[in-house]
Amino acid sequence: MAQQRILVTGAQGALGQDLLARLRLFDEFEVIGTTRSQLDLSAPVETIHQTLDEIRPDILINTAAVTAVDAAETDYDMAIHVNAHAPQAMAEWASQHGAYLIHISTDYVFDGQKSTSYTPQDTPSPINRYGHSKWLGEKAVLSTLPNQGLVLRTSWLFGSHSKNFVSFVMNALKENKQVRIAMDQHGTPTWTGHLCKMILTCLNDRPTGILHGCNTGSTTRYEQAQYLREKLNAPESLLTPVLTEAFNFPAPRPVNTSMVCSFPDIPSWQEATDTYLAVCQELTHHA
């Protein structure tokens, strides 16, 4: 059987790095990872199409995005280019060449007003420009590729290859620093390792439409930080719960973006955190 050529954008991101390493374990895949220097998603549509013509992937997995929520408020043009126009360009190319596209999206497409966890059937209503740009990207993929495109939403992502909330809290606790943590933001923390597993399932089953790729359960940022503190045996006095408004973020944050996972047998966010901490310990041991 001929190898399938997979293009992973955002090759230097947290998910991109983990995903490339996982995909390269399979002989049936020829895997190509691109960074911004190789495939600039802020470039004109024609340039993106030209690069895809050169690579000619059978499968595109778009993990690249402008994810800085507050930066998107001030540089909305860049957010729109990368998070909306580029996915549309990829979807157009995939439609013309019979390729399958997995587009990674976010829980921030929701307004956070729901009292229970969001499902893929819930209607997006973003309250900040980052969420709006990602929602436009979702709509572009789904309208252009109804039979070959998947929007895979994830949330509160953490992994070994980038700065994230978990690494921020861990570093603060290890350095005995006091930190303020939002107590009124609810969501579903997701480990990149488990999200990679869900993506591999999608490569096998080829679902289309919208799915939620996250760990299971719901928590607050403060509860998540407390869980880390207990695991690291750090003093309780280092964590101070505050309301989100205390941070004066430029972009408003949705109160609840917890999501229902679309995949069976995915561990809880607590189990994911335990596995992540074990991986970190292993990496430190071998360093």
The active-site residue out of 108, 130, 227, 276 is: 130
Separation between Cα atoms, residue 13 and residue 143, nearest integer Å: 27
Alpha helix ranges (H) inside the chain:
14-23, 45-55, 69-74, 76-80, 86-97, 129-144, 165-174, 192-205, 221-231, 269-286
d(CA 138, CA 247) in angstroms, rounded, equals 29
Residue at token pair 């980038």:
162
Q: What are phi and psi of 253, to 5 degrees?
A: -110, 135
CA distance 277 to 270: 11
Instruction: Reduce the DSSP state of residue 96 to 3 states and report it.
Output: helix
Residue 240 burial (CB count, 10 A) = 13
130 flagged as catalytic? yes
Among 141, 146, 161, smallest CA distance to 16 is for 161
| Residues with a known catalytic role | 130
